[in-house]
Amino acid sequence: MAIQVRFAGMTAAIIFVCTLAGCGGQSETNSSDNGATQSTESDQPAVSSRPKFTPLDLNAGSSGGDGSSKPRLTGAAKTVAVKKNLRPLVRGVIGKWNGTIFQKAGVEKVDWVYDVKTDETHPALKMTTKTGGYLKEGRLTYLPDEEKYEFTAIENDGTKSVFLGEFFVEPHDVVDGVETKIVQRAYTLILTRDADSPKSKLEKVVFNQLDNGRYLLELHDKRRKFDTINTMREGRTFGVDEGYGEKECIISQGLGTISIPYKGKTYWVCCSGCKAEFDADPDKWIAKYAALKKMEK
């Protein structure tokens, strides 16, 4: 059978070969006014139905269900991970504070406690304000599976928002250049509002720890920082040395500022929240502290 080819050059050769070989589907061509050939979607190569090769994942079955190969932490190991990552923050914020609000020209009272009452297996740092400029309450914790910090805030209008983030500046000790001793701990923790949280003006919060007696809480909307709360500690500050010895809080592992005698021994807690928990069941917390120290060895 004679085959008539109207196109010159390479295009004609391709059509001729495809006709003889019996290519699947028909290719259509359109000629523009200048003689150029334009291809339609049928010219695209067909997607092969052959399954692609997938390398064997030796970690399959050990993930937490989110597609990652890292297994999820559970039980005591998860609690230890949370407490370990909260520790740099515990040393900086636990206690009572006075905050100066720049834009509203107001003052607020802030109280940070170590919270194990809400969820003993997943502790947090809980913030409450008596005269809150923007926030009534906040709960800061760590999510081991996501490897992020989570700040759940209740704003003055009742809006509950969740913010996720990580350190922009890692916690570090600042040394006095004259006496060569640690004088403060500093860090910057940036958290942005989770997409599933209700819409509100507050889009980002930044904890900027300047030293053990002062931190800035920066508040951002979508465009800019709209206010800063300059927060100063009431009374004494916490130390930042790596170990607190016998004054280590039996619940939070922060610096103990309140001593509690029990069965001939003295135990330390860092805040009123931890004191209340210890008083309610001392033997439980003594046993938990002993188990924690054993796991950390």
Taking the chain (297 residues) in consecutive chunks of 10 residues, what is each chunk's mean pLDDT?
Answer: 44 38 43 42 40 37 50 88 90 84 84 92 93 88 96 93 96 68 78 92 92 86 92 60 72 84 91 88 90 72
Confidence (pLDDT) at 173: 78
Residues 215-243: b if buried by 16+ CB within 10 A, e if exposed? bbbbbbeeeeeebbbebebeeebbbbeee
Confidence (pLDDT) at 291: 83
CB atoms within 10 A of CB 159: 15
Interatomic CA distance for residues 208 and 171, integer angstroms: 10
State the DSSP H helix or E strand holding residue 50, giving kind and residue range, or none if neither.
none
Phi/psi for 105 (5° steps) reads 50, 50
Q: Name the segment(s) of the chain with CATH classification 2.40.128.
A: 75-236
Q: Which amino acid is at 224?
A: R
- CA–CA distance from 20 to each of 1, 6, 7, 15, 24 (Å)? 11, 17, 17, 9, 11
Confidence (pLDDT) at 172: 84
Confidence (pLDDT) at 188: 94
CATH of the structural domain 75-236, one choice from 2.40.128, 2.60.40, 3.30.160, 2.40.50: 2.40.128
Confidence (pLDDT) at 24: 46
Interatomic CA distance for residues 193 and 223, integer angstroms: 14
CB atoms within 10 A of CB 139: 18
Helix, strand, coil percentages in the chain from 3-state DSSP, rounded to 5 = 20, 35, 40
3-class DSSP assignment, residue 68 = coil
State the DSSP H helix or E strand holding residue 266, giving kind and residue range, or none if neither.
strand 265-269
Confidence (pLDDT) at 27: 40
Confidence (pLDDT) at 283: 94
Confidence (pLDDT) at 159: 92
DSSP string, 193-208: E-TTSPP-S--EEEEE
Closest CA to 162 of 202, 207, 102, 105: 202
Query: What is the dihedral sign for C-alpha 241, 245, 251, 255?
Result: negative
DSSP string, 244-260: -GGGBBTTT-SB--EEE
Is the full-model pTM beyond 0.75? Answer: no
